[in-house]
Amino acid sequence: MEAIMTDVLTSIEDPRSTLTAIRSLTLGRLAVLPTDTLYGIHGLASFPGIAANIANVKNTDPDSRGFILLADKIEKIENWAELTAESRTFIEKNCPGPVSFLLPAKAGAPPELCTEEGGIQRLAFRIPDHPYLLNLLGLLESPLISTSVNSTGSPPLEYASEIVKLYGDKVDLIASDPELENRMKNEGAQPSTLVDLTKSPPAILREGKVKPILSMVSSGG
C-alpha cells in the first residue's frame, strides 16, 4: 500500500508533473490537482464514463452532478455551452478567478455533466487563476471535470498528505501545492462562488471565496 501511495504523489514544482498528469488524464484516469481554491479530483470531461468514475471514488450519487468544468479560455467553454454577449462580458470581468458560472448547455453536451432547471440543461464552468492548472488546461483539448476531494458530508481535504492516505489507491496522480496548503491554513478552505447566468439578472447560488462583479454591461467601447 505504501508503494502505491509513493508512486502517485508528485509536486507542481516538479517539471515532469504536468506531462504525467496529461498522460493520466488522456487515458481516462483521475488526478488530484490544486486549483486557486481547493484541491480537486479531476478527469477529462470528454472521456466516456469519467463522471461516474469520479462519483464512485467520492462515494456519492452519480446523479447529483455537482461537477464544475475547468477551461483555460472562453473559446473552449463555447464548445460546450451557449454564450451571449452579456454572459461573455460577465466571464471576462470575473475570470480567471474563483468564480464559477452556470450556462445553458449546447445540444450534445454529456447529460451526466448537466443539471436541469425549468427545462434548461445547464453546465457549470470556471477559468481558474492558478498558473500550473491553467498551463495544463491549455495543453488539453477538453475541459476537466473538477470536484472537491471529499466524500459526501465530509469537509474537503486540505493537505496532500491526507489525500494520499485516503485516495492514494483510487487516483493515478496527486500533485501537491505547498502555497495552496499555506493559504488554506491561513484563510480556510473556501469553494468558488457559483453564479447562475441562465437567469436575468444573474443569481448567486453559492457564496464562496470572492464576491463576483455581477454587472453584465460591458465597460468597453
Ordered structural domains, the chain, with CATH: 2-206 (3.90.870.10)
Contact 209, 189 (CB under 8 A): no
**pLDDT tens, 27-67?**
999 999 999 999 999 999 999 999 999 999 988 876 666 78
pLDDT at 59: 86
Cell of 18: 504536468
pLDDT at 161: 95
**pLDDT tens, 73-118?**
999 999 999 999 999 999 999 999 999 999 999 998 998 899 988 8
Percent of residues, the chain, with pLDDT higher than 70: 91
**pLDDT tens, 13-35?**
999 999 999 999 999 999 999 99
What one-letter code names the amino acid at 142? S
Q: Which residues contact 133 (CB under 8 A, 6 or more apart)?
A: 33, 34, 35, 36, 70
Q: With H, G, I as helix, E, B as strand and everything else as coil, classify residue 117.
A: strand
Mean pLDDT of the residues in the chain: 89
pLDDT at 3: 41
